[in-house]
Amino acid sequence: MTTPLLLETSAVAKAFGAVVALRAVDLRVRPGEVHALLGANGAGKSTLVKILTGVLRADAGAIAIHGRPVALRRPADAQGHGLAPVFQDPAMAPDLSVAENLRLTRVDVPAVRRHLSDMDLGQLDLGEQVRDVPLPFLRMLDLARALAFDPQLLVLDEITAALPPDLSERVFAVMRRWKERDRAVLFISHRLAEVRAHCDMCTVLRDGRDVASFVPAEGGEGQIVAAMLGEAATVVREEARTRSATAVDVGDTALLEARNIGAGRHLEDVSLAVRAGEVLGLAALEGQGQDVLFDVLSGNRKADRGELVVDGVTVKAHHPFDVIRRGVVLVPSDRLQALLPQRSIRENIAAPLFNRVTRWGPINGREEGRRIDEAVQRLSIDTRAASQVRRLSGGNQQKVTIARWLARGLKVMLLFDPTRGIDVGTKHQVYDLVRALADEGAAIVMFTSELREIGLVCDRSAVLHNGRIVAELPADAGESALLRAAHGLETVPA
Amino acid sequence: MSDVTPIAAATTEESTQVVAEIVRETVRPGWRTRLAEQPALVLAGVLVVLYAVTVWKDDSLLTVNGVRSILLLACPLAVFAASQTLCMLTGGVDLSVAMTANFAAYVAANQSGRGPWIALAMALGVGVGVGAVNGLAVGVFKVNPLIMTIGMASVLLGVVTVGLRGWLAGSTDVLDVVRTVGSGTLIGPLPTNLLVWTGISLVLVLGLRSSGLGRVIYAVGDNQIACRLAGVRVWQVLLAVYVLSGLLAAIGGLLFSGTTGSVGVDQTNSYLLPSVAATVIGGTSILGGTGGYTGTILGALILTVLNRLLLRLEVSEAFRQILYGLIVLALAWSYVRLTGQKVREGGG
């Protein structure tokens, strides 16, 4: 007697014009299994998930659920067959309340409440407007909404990216519960430690094919990374970067200095300084004022109190331009905020070059091309889908947002969770680039929700809690010290 | 996986073939894909067919004079549509172009006594002034462009009406230079106003493609937040766009008054909605970010020929209007059908 598989795909394929997203993918998920779907950016994970949830239609291949072949033509088909997705970006109308949004999806609202209280989130006010609910809670709501359909297969697309550790734990609890009920979870994450700890099986995609399928706890992160990246990069350096402290003579004057900055309810009083050649890491739990701080540093929001000093000059910033012209540039975490989705890679990278009226005249095509090619090469951006950046994979989009500042030139780079939702290979490229920029004399401020990155990339770190810097720690302070500080607990000086 | 029997039946070979076929279609595309990527070709095709059909009803279009009349009438429309193209690329629209044109042409004719250059400068000044107010309202005070420019059109009508009893009172005399440019003939079938149109076309097509302002116009239409984060001051771009739009409207108004040889407070109003239609048919997105002036030129020619065809049909004016509306809708719809497919699929 053989157990029928809960989900089986056979040679599923999908192409967008000349870009082949999936060549032929076989995926087999058994009942009672948490199955990880892994792969580098552009490997085809998102496309496969969209096909499984009826958002896209496969060009070829077959899908069977509980042994019966099914046709998933639209999201309702997938839902009818018991597949429920939780996507990277919860699709909710920001001007409606949470409850109104739920009603739009014809979900059983009491069931959503029940699942919320099961996850210890019973205190969430469903009457609140979606725009006022912090993103992590929206994701949890979206999860509860998916659970309310009582699905056979729960599809979690990067749900833990940007979730604080305590909320991630609750997601894992849900996954265990689903497994115990002999159902299944398809789990997509770039955090390999989570995969190793919580998944029974994993399938690795590379270049639109399934290249490996094994038990992650046995194979370990090494095997996963090797399968994701292929032969070319079997060895990924996980150890901390050797920091070349001598590359640049770290001057005494700070390139960027914030003095007692406060703004709104969430940012009380922050002072920090970064010198040339230095990478300052910023750690914080969700909602401690880090987004307001970055808005102020990047000139996107006026500070209520305090002073911003760039390279010794006090700056009154009314617009991002006021800090950009002094070389302070921002890479936001939300790539959709930074990009012109319908325009080409070239136009996206060149955009900051035309931010003053005196540059509105004819473009020197050769000069522009040189700058752009340099940046594209330095970041090894895949230019196959160059005509519209919305067709690029997430990692490539992030590279484009960084490339535009390399093309323009910079003194201080502000990075807000720059590796959120991008694959291991691209993450390491970002780390290398950040170190290289610092070595060339730039000052870097990097907020990260992955504490491990502070040890990997930064020279020292500052911890934000309740809108204040509560601790400054050396880079090698370790994750537990950072976590203690981030929770507002006393840290033992190293 | 030995304990399970595969049920879903599809082979890797089959899938690989299907995908290879799709890729081949993109790399060496069939006629349909190729057409979708060359909207200007499609529009040119539509124009040729439409022209042929019109010739069948009205063979004067085969004469030098017939061609000339089409170009002559298409010119003001194309200039107004140039205003719309600029505004629509930023996600806006300018519904005050017709009133701006009327006002500017009236001022030029009324003030012709001060000498042609001063009168012309005053007319263009009207365009720039109206555009600046529109631009400041839309860019700085974030008024919805539709509302702002409708309001502006209404205000202008009032200003002209009041002005007729005061500072605009007195005789009107269309300037000789305007008359010559608006109704003269360059050579053969080419009217003189084609000179102005060609100049505007060159500036717009080249400028949108390879000037800094062109880049930021597309950028503002695509994503204003991204523009802000890149240091682009969106209000400056919008101000520039609406000033240019007002300037073009004034030029269009002068050209029209040169063609008719007279001025009136509402004489170009019938061009307003066709100027929007020509832009949409030409493939510029109402939401901004994509499109260009090349398509708009063809859109303006198509609408002008269509007008001629409908005039030759022996049907009532009401029926003519219905046909015109239906054909414009059909053109816009087929355009989206043909080029919009990738937009709907997206992703990767």
Q: Domain ranges for chain B, please list them.
A: 39-337
* Separation CA B113–CA B80 (nearest Å): 27
* Separation CA A251–CA A243 (nearest Å): 17
Instruction: Give helix B193-210 / helix B234-260 axis angle, nearest 10°.
Output: 170
User: What's the rounded mean pLDDT across residues A86-100?
Assistant: 82
pLDDT higher at B34 or B108: B108
Residue B56 has pLDDT above 80, yes or no: yes
Closest Cβ–Cβ partner in A68, A343, A356 for B222: A343
Q: Is B228 close to A319, i.e. CB distance below 8 A?
A: yes
Backbone region of residue A412 per phi and psi (left: phi > 0; alpha: psi in -120 to 50; beta: other values): beta
What pairing do the DSSP bridges indicate for beta strands A19-29 and A7-16?
A: antiparallel
**Alpha carbon A43 to its chain's center:** 16
Q: Is A12 close to B15, i.e. CB distance below 8 A?
A: yes
Q: State the average pLDDT for chain B.
A: 89
Q: Is B219 close to A391, i.e. CB distance below 8 A?
A: no
Closest Cβ–Cβ partner in B6, B19, B229 for A15: B19
Confidence band of A250 (pLDDT split at 50, 70, 90)? low
Question: Are residues A450 and A419 in contact, defined by beta-carbon separation less than 8 angstroms?
Answer: yes
Both A339 and A373 in one domain: the answer is yes
Residue A428 has pLDDT above 70, yes or no: yes
Q: Which of A36-45, A260-269, A404-413, B328-337 is the most confident on average?
A: A404-413
Would A482 be classed as within a structural domain? yes
Residue A479 has pLDDT above 70, yes or no: yes
Q: Which of A49-63, A128-142, A231-245, B205-219 is the most confident on average?
A: B205-219
* Separation CA B194–CA A289 (nearest Å): 60
The CB density around residue A320, as the number of other CB atoms within 10 Å, is 25
pLDDT for the residue numbered B37: 67
Which of A233, A266, A281 is the last residue in one of the domains?
Answer: A233
pLDDT for the residue numbered B30: 65
pLDDT for the residue numbered A253: 76
Would A72 be classed as within a structural domain? yes
Residue B46 has pLDDT above 60, yes or no: yes
Coil, helix or strand for B149?
Answer: helix
Q: Chain A 62-121, CB below 8 Å of chain B: which residues?
A: 62-64, 67-69
Distance from CA of B35 to the nearest CA of A (A): 15
Would A457 be classed as within a structural domain? yes
- Measured between beta carbons, the chain B residues lying within 8 angstroms of A16 are 342, 345-348
Distance from CA of B245 to the nearest CA of A (A): 17
Structural domain including A457 reads 254-486
User: What's the rounded mean pLDDT across residues A420-424?
Assistant: 75
Closest Cβ–Cβ partner in A16, A28, A321 for B1: A28
Q: Chain A 170-229, CB below 8 Å of chain B: which residues?
A: 213
* Separation CA A484–CA A463 (nearest Å): 10
Residue B176 has pLDDT above 90, yes or no: yes
Confidence band of A261 (pLDDT split at 50, 70, 90)? very high
Q: Is A62 close to B8, i.e. CB distance below 8 A?
A: yes
Exposure b/e, A376-405, CB count within 10 A at least 16 = b: bebbebbeebbebbbbbbbbbbbbbbbbbb
Closest Cβ–Cβ partner in A10, A50, A340 for B223: A340
φ, ψ for residue A236, nearest 5 deg: -110, 130
Q: Is A342 close to B289, i.e. CB distance below 8 A?
A: yes
Reported as type and span, the H/E element at residue B191 is: strand B190-191
pLDDT for the residue numbered B174: 93
Both A465 and A345 in one domain: the answer is yes
Residue B344 has pLDDT above 80, yes or no: no
Both A29 and A171 in one domain: the answer is yes
Both A455 and A346 in one domain: the answer is yes
Would A268 be classed as within a structural domain? yes
User: What's the rounded mean pLDDT across residues B89-108?
Assistant: 97
Which of A182, A198, A233 is the last residue in one of the domains?
Answer: A233
Question: Are residues A58 and A12 in contact, defined by beta-carbon separation less than 8 angstroms?
Answer: yes
User: What's the rounded mean pLDDT across residues A254-275?
Assistant: 92
Q: Is B213 close to A354, i.e. CB distance below 8 A?
A: yes
Both A314 and A432 in one domain: the answer is yes
pLDDT higher at A86 or B343: A86
Q: Could you give the percent of chain B with pLDDT greater than 90? A: 70
Contacts of B121 (CB under 8 A, 6+ apart): none
> Spelled out in words, what is the top-level CATH class assigned to the domain B39-337?
mainly alpha
Closest Cβ–Cβ partner in A21, A24, A343 for B348: A21
pLDDT for the residue numbered B9: 59
Both A51 and A192 in one domain: the answer is yes
With tokens 């001051």, the residue in question is B233
pLDDT for the residue numbered A173: 93
Both A161 and A278 in one domain: the answer is no
pLDDT for the residue numbered B32: 65
Both A197 and A297 in one domain: the answer is no
Coil, helix or strand for B211?
Answer: strand
Residue A245 has pLDDT above 60, yes or no: no
Closest Cβ–Cβ partner in A2, A18, A320 for B228: A320
Q: What is the pLDDT of residues A126-169, one digit of tens each?
A: 888 888 888 888 889 999 999 999 999 999 988 887 788 888 89
Q: Which residue of A has its CA nearest to B231?
A: A321
Contacts of B25 (CB under 8 A, 6+ apart): B33
Backbone region of residue A175 per phi and psi (left: phi > 0; alpha: psi in -120 to 50; beta: other values): alpha
Q: What is the pLDDT of residues B226-255, one digit of tens each?
A: 999 999 999 999 999 999 999 999 999 999
Question: Are residues A426 and A371 in contact, defined by beta-carbon separation less than 8 angstroms?
Answer: no
Would A129 be classed as within a structural domain? no
Backbone region of residue A231 per phi and psi (left: phi > 0; alpha: psi in -120 to 50; beta: other values): alpha
Q: What is the pLDDT of residues A8-25, one digit of tens each?
A: 999 999 987 666 788 899
User: Taking CB atoms and an 8 Å cut-off, how many pairs form between chains A and B?
Assistant: 189
Q: Is A23 close to B15, i.e. CB distance below 8 A?
A: yes
Instruction: Supply angle C-alpha B301, B306, B309, rounded to 5.
Output: 130
User: What's the rounded mean pLDDT across residues A12-39?
Assistant: 87
Tokens of B138: 């839309």
* Separation CA B68–CA B83 (nearest Å): 24
pLDDT for the residue numbered A483: 78
Both A11 and A52 in one domain: the answer is yes
Would A113 be classed as within a structural domain? no
Q: Which residue of B has its CA nearest to A390?
A: B347
Both A208 and A339 in one domain: the answer is no
With tokens 């009491």, the residue in question is A110
Which stretch of A63-67, A263-267, B50-54 has the lowest confidence by average pLDDT?
A263-267
Strand partners, A37: A188, A203
User: What's the rounded mean pLDDT across residues A37-62?
Assistant: 87
Q: What is the pLDDT of residues B201-220, one digit of tens each?
A: 999 999 999 999 999 999 99
Q: Does A412 touch chain B (CB under 8 A)?
A: no
Up-side HSE of residue B24: CA atoms within 13 Å toward CB?
A: 6
- Measured between beta carbons, the chain B residues lying within 8 angstroms of A69 are 7-9
Q: Which residue of B has its CA nearest to A341?
A: B222
User: What's the rounded mean pLDDT across residues A177-181?
Assistant: 92
Both A201 and A341 in one domain: the answer is no
Instruction: Supply angle C-alpha A347, A377, B22, rounded to 5.
Output: 70
CATH number for position A278: 3.40.50.300
Which stretch of A268-277, A446-455, B128-137 has the lowest confidence by average pLDDT?
A446-455
Which three-class secondary structure string do you get for chain A?
CCCCCCEEEEEEEEEECCEEEEEEEEEEECCCEEEEEEECCCCCHHHHHHHHCCCCCCCEEEEEECCEEECCCCHHHHHHCCEEEECCCCCCCCCCEHHHHHHHCCCCHHHHHHHHHHCCCCCCCCCCEHHHCCHHHHHHHHHHHHHHCCCCEEEEECCCCCCCHHHHHHHHHHHHHHHHCCCEEEEECCCHHHHHHHCCEEEEEECCEEEEEECHHHHHHHHHHHHHHCHHHCCCCCCCCCCCCCCCCCCCCEEEEEEEEEECCCEEEEEEEEECCCEEEEECCCCCCHHHHHHHHCCCCCCCEEEEEECCEEECCCCHHHHHCCCEEEECCCHHHHCCCCCCHHHHHHHHHHCCHHHCCECCHHHHHHHHHHHHHHCCCCCCCCCCHHHCCHHHHHHHHHHHHHHHCCCEEEEECCCCCCCHHHHHHHHHHHHHHHHCCCEEEEECCCCHHHHHHCCEEEEEECCEEEEEEEHHHCHHHHHHHHCCCCCCCC
Which stretch of A144-158, A230-244, A336-350, B315-329 has the lowest confidence by average pLDDT?
A230-244
> Total structural domains in chain A?
2
Both A266 and A172 in one domain: the answer is no
What does the DSSP 8-state code read for residue B113? G
